[in-house]
Amino acid sequence: MFDTKILDNSDRSIELAAELLKSGEVVGIPTETVYGLGADASNEDAVKKIFEAKGRPADNPLIVHISEFSQIEELVTEIPRLAINCAEKFWPGPLTMIMPKSDRVPMITSGGLDTVGIRMPSNETARKIISACGFPIAAPSANLSGSPSPTSAQHVYNDMQNRIPAIVDAGHCGIGVESTVICFEGRDSIRLLRPGFISVDDLKEITENVIIDKGVTEIVAADAKVASPGMKYKHYAPKAEITILEGTLDAYREYVKENSDNDTTLLVFDKNDADGLGLPYVVYGSTDEEQARNLFGSLRELDRLNAVKVFARCPSKNGVGLAVYNRLIRAAAFRVIRL
Ligand code: AMP
Ligand code: MG
């Protein structure tokens, strides 16, 4: 058992975090998307500790984080031309690219796949930690498997207390939803496996051929063979039963009036949405960007309020709104009512 320390993001803390990572330990690290649980990507024992700390299924691969483009060479056997174009446009930033992995990436890191997902985060503290280590860092989101991803060091602490030695605190994550995950098909197509801040329109600036994988918006059977294993797991779920109500504010308010009871809590864009309904509510933001930043914190807040039954307003599905929708339908176990 560890006495988990929350470190500030000073140079001294970054050095300390790097020392822990070099000695094969797991550290909570900030990124611009969500907090990650980092370990030396090529050290099997260290990576194993990530899976143990999270309770993560072994076939759910980890993303490998780099701080310089040149680090990619040791990790992959081939770099598609489109990947170079994407790196030039979106790195450092919240884009993960799947490529054929080299032997330097152990199977435990790739969840048994012969590919590896790679990202260069834009968060300065994250890149400083990776640079101080001198090796790529494997890091999934720093939550217990199945819980909402952590967007603050305190969220990480709540889930990882006594399980890891340290967390580096660099404040609230700016983006708030995990990275966009893509793979390449043929020479000219990008397949979107998980939506994030880098949107479909952003990717279309690289190639017109952007395919949105079915798993982005639809339910994936537990035994299905999927391109992105994370999509098949129950995810981001607070304890409450969430139902997404898709429609106008008027239709939402009508539905709530007719179907709410003493156990109902509302998840709304703005406090005015809940005006006069006499029910507890959590606000998650009026723009796609605000909703992305606040979604996971709001799901944790619903737990704190002991919410039982939640009626959620439906995100836009445009831009980063698609990422918000993708996370919220999983939190809602795909319960969506079209009003
Ligand atoms: P997390 O870091 O918790 O957001 O999880 C990383 C997610 O990225 C996984 O659940 C997968 O969906 C995706 N991913 C990572 N590596 C690969 C890969 N090699 N192939 C397909 N998807 C991947
Ligand atoms: Mg995760």
pLDDT tens-digit readout, 98-134: 999 999 999 999 999 999 999 999 999 999 999 999 9
Residue 232 has pLDDT above 90, yes or no: no
Residue 284, domain member (yes or no): yes
Residue 174 has pLDDT above 80, yes or no: yes
**Domain total of the chain:** 2
* Residue 60 near ligand 1, beta carbon < 6 Å: yes
Ligand with an atom nearest the CA of residue 96? 1
Q: How far is the CA of 193 from the centre of ligand 1 (A)?
A: 9
| Residues spanned by the domain of 21 | 5-177
Residue 314, domain member (yes or no): yes
Residue 227 has pLDDT above 90, yes or no: no
Residue 75 has pLDDT above 70, yes or no: yes
Q: Please, which pLDDT band fits residue 238 given cuts at 50, 70 and 90?
A: confident
Q: Is 141 helix (H, G, I), strand (E, B) or coil?
A: strand
Same domain, 247 and 155: no
Predicted confidence at residue 87, as pLDDT, reads 98
124-133 and 11-22 helices, crossing angle to 10°: 50
Q: Give CA–CA dist 115/109, Å, rounded.
A: 10
Residue 287, domain member (yes or no): yes
Residue 19, domain member (yes or no): yes
Query: Other CB atoms closer than 10 Å to residue 272's CB: what's the count?
Result: 11
Q: Which of 71-75, 183-187, 223-227 shows the lowest per-residue confidence on average (mean pLDDT)?
A: 223-227
Same domain, 34 and 152: yes
Q: How far is the CA of 103 from the centre of ligand 2 (A)?
A: 24
Predicted confidence at residue 329, as pLDDT, reads 92
Q: Specify the pairing of strand 241-246 against strand 309-313.
A: parallel
111 dihedral zone (left: phi>0; alpha: psi -120 to 50; beta): left
Residue 234 has pLDDT above 70, yes or no: no
321-331 and 288-304 helices, crossing angle to 10°: 20
* Residue 194 near ligand 1, beta carbon < 6 Å: yes
Residue 201, domain member (yes or no): no
Residue 226 has pLDDT above 80, yes or no: no
Same domain, 255 and 168: no
CATH number at residue 129: 3.90.870.10
Query: Other CB atoms closer than 10 Å to residue 315's CB: what's the count?
Result: 25
Residue 233 has pLDDT above 70, yes or no: no
* Residue 178 near ligand 1, beta carbon < 6 Å: yes
Section 299-306 average pLDDT: 96
Nearest C-alpha to atom 12 of ligand 1 is from which residue?
Answer: 230
Q: Which of 59, 63, 183 to mutate to test the pocket of ligand 1 (most atoms within 8 A of CB)?
A: 63
Q: Enter the pTM of the model.
A: 0.95
